[in-house]
Amino acid sequence: MYYAYQIKHTLQIGDPGIVEPLIYHKYTVKDEVTALRVTLIPGDLGFKQILKIINRLANNKEFKKYSDNIILIGVFYELTDTHLIKSTTKIIENLHATRGSEIQALKAELLDRYNTEEALRKLLSPIPKTF
């Protein structure tokens, strides 16, 4: 199920849902393995890169290695063009001001390793991944 405009939409397996750009939304699922397929129109390069990075980190069993890595949060913030609220904005701005070079280095490393055609093929595979 997903929420947009504070309206609850319950979807069944295979049902499509459309969220218009710039609309706050969130997804909730039951306590079971769930796969969510997202199509961005027009496509967003940074979001696609993040999906490939997360998917490959999970496949390579490396995701836990980064679970407490604040620099990775900075990379995700930058690639997804996230718009934060209240105190989180100051935290991220401070992170970029004090550790921006580390963020850029990790971003370059992750994009070099995981922003590949192979990563895209694996991302589009129908097998759900668990983190």
Domain span including residue 18: 1-37
- Tens of pLDDT along 1-56? 545 556 777 787 788 887 777 677 777 777 877 777 777 666 678 888 888 888 88
Q: Does residue 48 sit in the same domain as residue 32?
A: no
* Distance of alpha carbon 81 from alpha carbon 67, whole angstroms: 20
Q: Does residue 94 sit in the same domain as residue 59?
A: yes
* Distance of alpha carbon 14 from alpha carbon 116, whole angstroms: 28
Asked whether the beta carbons of 2 and 19 are under 8 A apart, the reply is yes
Tell me the two tokens of residue 49: 């890169």
Number of domains in the chain: 2
Quick check: is 131 in a domain? Answer: no
In this prediction the pTM is 0.62
In angstroms, the Cα distances linking 105 to 75, 101, 108, 109 are 9, 6, 5, 6
- Tens of pLDDT along 103-122? 999 999 999 998 888 877 77
